[in-house]
Amino acid sequence: VVGLNGAGKTTLIKLICGLYTPSSGKIFAGGHEIDEYNREAYYSMISALFQTSHILPISIAENIAVCEKEGIDQAKLDAVIRLSGLTEKIQALPEKTDTPINKSVHANGIELSGGEAQKLLFARALYKDAPLLVLDEPTSALDPIAESRMYANYNEAAANRTSIFISHRLASTRFCDRILFLDGKTIAEEGTHEELMAAGGKYADLYKTQSQYYQ
């Protein structure tokens, strides 16, 4: 899901996730209105990384798994850390994944950079392992190299599930199966990257404008 700031990308996804109630119209999932589902069960089917997600003053492992240390699946934890690009950072820490976050709370705590925090939140979304993976601007705080690595791992990270990737950077759309281009709070164009470029519409114009800065 792509479009300029204010196009309605995040609002659309929060409606799908059941976090907002539509003022008109209905939202369906699996052929049923989402209000027909038990709310807790519906939320359990979604792994979401929103721009407003928060990191807790507990260990790295507990932040990712969102449970106490005794309940953590170590193999799954290691896998999502690798996919998120945090392995090198964590291996350099004396306490590894047991390292607490937030220096103001823990004497031995650490502070994460914006990009590192975003990787941790990505790992948290992957650890939940829900059938719907929602990522809202997951690379906004990453440097170009880290962003490229995330794209390289994305197919493995999103395997066997439906994934919705929200971005205003059209460079992130090449690996997506289906692109929705929002403009004026509506779906203005839809298709693969190749189809939208061939159509020569607003998506193609915006892609060309953005890509000239990377050539």
Q: Regarding beta strands 179-183 and 186-191, do their DSSP bridges make them parallel or antiparallel, or are they unpaired?
A: antiparallel
User: Over the range 159-189, which residues count as b (16 or more CB within 10 Å of their CB) and which as e?
Assistant: eeeebbbbbbebbbbeebeebbbbbeeeeeb
Place of tokens 């990712």: 64
Give the whole-angstrom CA distance, residue 41 versus residue 37.
7
178-208 tens-digit pLDDT: 999 999 888 999 999 999 999 999 999 988 8
Q: Is the dihedral of CA 12, 51, 85, 98 positive or negative?
A: negative
102-152 tens-digit pLDDT: 999 999 999 999 999 999 999 999 999 999 999 998 888 788 788 888 887
Place of tokens 């800065």: 213
Higher pLDDT, 148 or 72: 72
pTM above 0.85, yes or no: yes
Q: What share of the chain is helix, strand, coil (3-state, %, to 5)?
A: 45, 15, 40
13-26 tens-digit pLDDT: 999 999 999 999 99
C-alpha closest to that of 14 among 40, 51, 54, 63: 51
Place of tokens 């839809």: 190
Contact 64, 80 (CB under 8 A): yes
Place of tokens 């607003």: 202
